[in-house]
Chain A
Amino acid sequence: MLTIKEAKKGVDEKEFSVSELVSHFRSRMEERKDINAIISSFDDSSSGKGELYGAVLVVKDNILVKGEKCTAASQMLESYEAPFSATVVNKLKEKGAVIIGKANMDEFAMGSSTETSFFGPTKNPLSPYLVPGGSSGGSAAAVMGGMCNAALGSDTGGSIRQPASFCGLVGMKPTYGAVSRNGLIAMSSSFDQIGPLTRNVEDAEMVFNAIYGKDEHDSTTVDFPLLKERGSRIGVPKEYFTDGMDKGVREVIDKAISKIESEVVEISLPNTEYALPAYYIIMASEVSSNMARFDGLRYGSCSRSRDILESYINSRGDYLGSEVKRRIILGTYSLSSGYYDAYYLQAQKVRNIISRDFEKAFQEVDFILTPTTPVLPFAIGERIDDPVSMYLADVFTVTANLAGLPAISLPCGERDGLSVGAQLIAPRFYERSLFREAEKLERLWKD
């Protein structure tokens, strides 16, 4: 189970070649077909040079790779072939990486367990009855299952960090605007970010370094500013330690925090309880807009009908899954005349209030530390019929998306053979400091 750094060393020192690595990982995909982590796999060759020469990745199947199918795990795009590659894919390849597969995910990235995929659920490599988390569950399972040495996921409300926590990996969501979304099938455009899932923090930083940067094809990207390092004062928000948390998770997190040598203080993020409802309204509103393009005409599957209106209704009804439909309907409702002010506008104002809570907290502390998720990985089928209970798995991760902050999840301990993740959050564009501090915590928690 090689890290990127180990693979790079092996390739540089001619112990093995990239094509041998690719063969090895593709055999591994065959062996572990039971996990159902991969939707499609293909060969790839390296440019032969660069910081990621030796890196073999899979990317979530909502990230376009030219010439390969890109399904977003939906029947709607079952046969869609990507006409161009995402900016992040081009950047990875320029740096010597190879991409050998498209990872399973919740349909259109809507879910927290990789159970809404048209291609069936992905299983957690740590235990086949449990979910790997979502929506980047396939990406996480592929790395943990030894099918690649790193993966790209996308994170809208926790979809990189939560599966990282459930699968014992490092998962990182960059600052909103740090990484281009060109070539990412849009879910919620003011929240989505692409980021790495890796075996350690060092690898996550290597992947981030390859993919970040201003892109003329994504006007929400910015020139990454050079900022000085932050100190090591860590704030633990009391609102993230509620009664609803799993006792086992709570004990592991408390123990991990007690080991931290630098200063740890209790802080308050007073509007935390409004984060999940605000997130769901804004996210669903943006989803309803982004999903309008799937009309059965331009691309994707189509249900032929006598007129265009029926064609839209039937195509979208037949080829989109229930969770996608729920969010489209919720979003359309929130944006409709008579409800826009009470739902969408109100949610965006609450978003501002939550963002300001973080700004205030970051004046007192350098980083904020929380559990990544309040629960251990749950059983496949346990929450799928209760949408609100599923949404609660994201309660600690959505705040970083609302405020556009960089956040990383890393393993901090184990309970009953399952990994527990802790989340570290920094102010916008403080990725360098975030990685430094995360590496320190990783060393501390390794035992």
Chain B
Amino acid sequence: MLNDIEKTVTLSRVKAKDEVRDVSRILSYVEKLKSVDTSQTEPLFHFPETSNSVREDAYKHTSPQVRKMMTCMREEEGEFLRVSSILC
């Protein structure tokens, strides 16, 4: 199990060490879920009153707050935002 958790740490894109042992203990605690017979049950992903909310597929101008949020990106080159090298 610890091996699988360590692989998950890589998938999670987060540097972690002591947390791996804690996650293993939490997984042991939640194991009891497997004993519940759910063969006749559907998952409850949404509550019944919720329905899809749609709008017209039409262009809306970019609101000023979007530009403001993007200023959190550190380096701009004209219209572009610089990120670290993608090819590792």
Contacts and interface: CB of A to CB of B under 8 A. Distances in A.
Interface of A: 80, 83-84, 176-177, 190, 216, 219-220, 222, 271, 273-274, 277-278, 280-281, 288, 292, 295, 297-300, 302, 304-314, 316-318, 320, 322, 325-326, 328-330, 332-333, 336, 342-343, 345-353, 355, 387-388, 391, 404, 428
Given A329-B5, A332-B8, A353-B38, A278 B33 contact: yes
B22 A326 contact: yes
B23 A329 contact: yes
Interface residues of B, number: 49
B87 interface: yes
Nearest to B68: A83
Contacts, number: 159
B27 to A, nearest CB: 7
A329 B8 contact: yes
Contacts of B11: 332, 336
A329 B52 contact: no
Contacts of B80: none
B11 to A, nearest CB: 5
Contact of A83 (B5, B13, B22, B69): B69
B83 interface: yes
Given A329-B20, A333-B4, A299 B88 contact: no
Interface string B1-26: 00011001101111110111011011
Contacts of B49: 177, 222, 428
24 contacts: A83-B65, A219-B52, A222-B50, A273-B32, A277-B31, A277-B33, A281-B33, A297-B73, A307-B85, A307-B86, A308-B83, A311-B84, A318-B15, A325-B16, A329-B5, A329-B12, A329-B20, A343-B30, A346-B34, A348-B44, A350-B36, A351-B44, A352-B41, A353-B36
A328 B12 contact: yes
Question: Chain A at the B interface: mostly helix, strand, loop or mixed?
Answer: helix
Contacts of B50: 177, 219-220, 222
Contacts of A404: 47
B57 interface: no
B84 to A, nearest CB: 4
A294 to B, nearest CB: 10
Contacts of A277: 29-33
